[in-house]
Chains A and B, each alone.
Chain A
Amino acid sequence: MIASLRAESLKTRKRWANWILFGILLLTFILLGYVLTYVVLSNPPRNFESRVPARILKREVFPENLIPNMLSLTSTIGAAIMIILGGLSTASEYGWLTIQTILIQKPSRRAVLLGKLAMLAIVTLLVSAGILAATALTSYLLVTIDGSSSSWPSATLLLKGFGALWLEFAVWTAFGMLLGITFRSTAAAIGGGLTYLFVGEALLAQLLRNTEGVKEVLRFLPGVNAAGVNASFGLTFRNLNATTQLVDATRGTITLLAYLVVFTVLGLLIFVRRDVGGS
């Protein structure tokens, strides 16, 4: 597995697509989650209506709300980018047929995929750290520019928030990786993953969340569970109970961990057993 991990690290570092994805992710978190929110709420349009005044709402981007604000983008753009990352890491090997080149070297198939999984775990950890650092810096700059005062979340909260971010990124990356192995096509893996995310999770879960029966099914979806985890880090000026989540943070965390294990094991089983090449 170590040999495979070393090979993966070289491939991952030198692949521009990975750096571009990270750049998009970083920019989206900073621009959408912080800069644009701050600009709009600092100068609210005339028809702006909210029960909470804009001057309070803009505290969303200040350090006291670092974790909930950062996590608010994790289940949408964050999940999408990580599905693409996971899909690219496995499906490209089939597209370029490099899977053949890899598998006729020394390591077993299991070691090859475990090396890839270990690399993806490291990448998601580094991406999470990068996102946390960049959003913290942006938040600090904005509160400084605003001339307001704010406090940083406690170390425990920061650690929990970082854990939630990494877990959610890891689950979506593993989902993309599984789709890549299953479909053996980059387009199908990414297309399938994004369709599930934006139609299955975002649309259906929102539309049918109050429909009895369906609600029970929704409680098992990864996105719904991620939302449950994210909601536990409430904004300081909002009541935690204001938005009803289908699952609480504990159930959400356990379900996400279960998904991580299931996606990984399924990916391994398919990768180890299936023929490579031929028709």
Chain B
Amino acid sequence: MGLAQGFAVETSGLSKRYSTGVLAVDDLNLRVRTGEVYGFLGPNGAGKTTTLRMLSGLLRPTSGGATVAGGAPGSPGSLTRMGAMVETPAFYPYLSGRDNLRVVARYAGVPTSRIEPVLRQVDMTDRAHHKFRTYSTGMKQRLGVAAALLKDPALLILDEPTSGLDPQGTVEMRELIKELRHGGRTVLLSSHLLNEVELTCDRVGVIAKGKLVAEGTVDELRARSGGSALLVRATPLDQAQRLLQSLLLASQIQVRDGVFSLAVDPAQAAAISASCAAPSSRWRTYSCN
């Protein structure tokens, strides 16, 4: 583990346009400092996963470039120093958790003696002999983190690590992320939840429609915007609007492109979601500006 002082991740004009014509990432200039926990914040579809895929070498950028852990994305030099969990933790369903890590270790050229320590680190030792297909979402996420840690990487990339977790699992994962930064490791964490990056990250980059629209600490971003707003995506829209109007003043609610912008403290996110939850509606609170 260990990277030279400076930036663990640096992108320059990074862009990705899919063959379908969708411009997922647009001229992104991102700098993640060595040793920091950087939150990559944005709503679903903003371009977070596409960016992380490019940084991992899974996607080729349409234009621009990047340096990741001291090398070109996807190069053996870069991959040796980074560990990543991009999108869903993907493993072989017919293998146990331990055997899956054995496969990953062999690909990575890591001694199998690393497997037990990382299993202990993510608290998976007891279930490691069970088949991956029997795992809950939380266990899959933890195995994904374990796999990313096998190389003891200087840079750890985690894409929505709390996605699909129950509240207890979310708390445990956040604690784990805080532990992972020990020893000067750089962590790049993507999330659509402001409170998540607020609790775990040193700095935050906000991405919207493929562009980096803001960067700084959470406090700096708040101060810059002169207030805060909670962004909520909810369906059906009309039902959600009626519910929100019963809770807040009309001046506090704005709707744009199917997303509600609520002039409230983001800390109220859970309370608002809970108040508005109805069997027929789907709520997702994801950001603040």
Interface, chain A (partner B; CB < 8 A): 3-4, 6-7, 10-11, 14-17, 96-109, 112, 275-279
Contacts and interface: CB of A to CB of B under 8 A. Distances in A.
Contact of B84 (A97, A104, A107, A112): A104
B2 interface: no
A101 B90 contact: yes
Contacts of A104: 56-58, 79, 82-84, 86
Contacts of A97: 87-88, 90
Contact of B80 (A96, A106, A112, A275): A106
A108 B57 CA distance: 10
Interface in B48-76: 49-50, 53, 56-60, 74, 76
A127 to B, nearest CB: 20
Given A101-B104, A104-B57, A107-B107, A14 B99 contact: yes
Contact of A6 (B89, B91, B106): B106
B79 A14 contact: no
A152 to B, nearest CB: 40
Contacts of A4: 106-107
A10 B94 CA distance: 12
In this complex, the member of A16, A96, A109 whose beta carbon has the largest number of chain B beta carbons within 10 angstroms is A96
B53 A108 contact: no
In this complex, the member of B24, B104, B107, B151 whose beta carbon has the largest number of chain A beta carbons within 10 angstroms is B107
B20 interface: yes
A3 B109 contact: yes
B102 A10 contact: yes
Given A14-B99, A108-B76, A277-B58, A3 B106 contact: yes
A4 B106 CA distance: 7
Given A16-B94, A101-B90, A104-B86, A278 B107 contact: no
Contact of B107 (A3, A16, A96): A3
17 contacts: A3-B108, A10-B102, A14-B99, A97-B88, A97-B90, A98-B92, A100-B90, A101-B89, A104-B56, A104-B58, A104-B79, A105-B151, A106-B108, A278-B16, A278-B18, A278-B24, A279-B18
Given A10-B99, A11-B103, A276 B88 contact: no
Contacts of B18: 278-279
A228 to B, nearest CB: 39
Nearest to A10: B103
A100 B86 contact: yes
A66 to B, nearest CB: 36
Given A3-B106, A96-B92, A104-B58, A277 B84 contact: no
B95 interface: yes
A275 B58 CA distance: 6
A278 B20 CA distance: 10
Contacts of B22: 279
Contacts of A103: 56-58, 74
A105 B102 CA distance: 12
A194 to B, nearest CB: 23
Nearest to B106: A7
Interface in B101-145: 102-104, 106-109
B258 interface: no
A106 B109 contact: yes
Contacts of B109: 3, 106-107
Contacts of B227: none
A71 to B, nearest CB: 33
Contacts of A277: 49, 53, 58-59, 86-87
Contacts of B197: none
A101 B230 CA distance: 34
B58 A105 contact: no
Contact of B53 (A10, A11, A102, A278): A278
A105 B84 CA distance: 9
B63 to A, nearest CB: 15
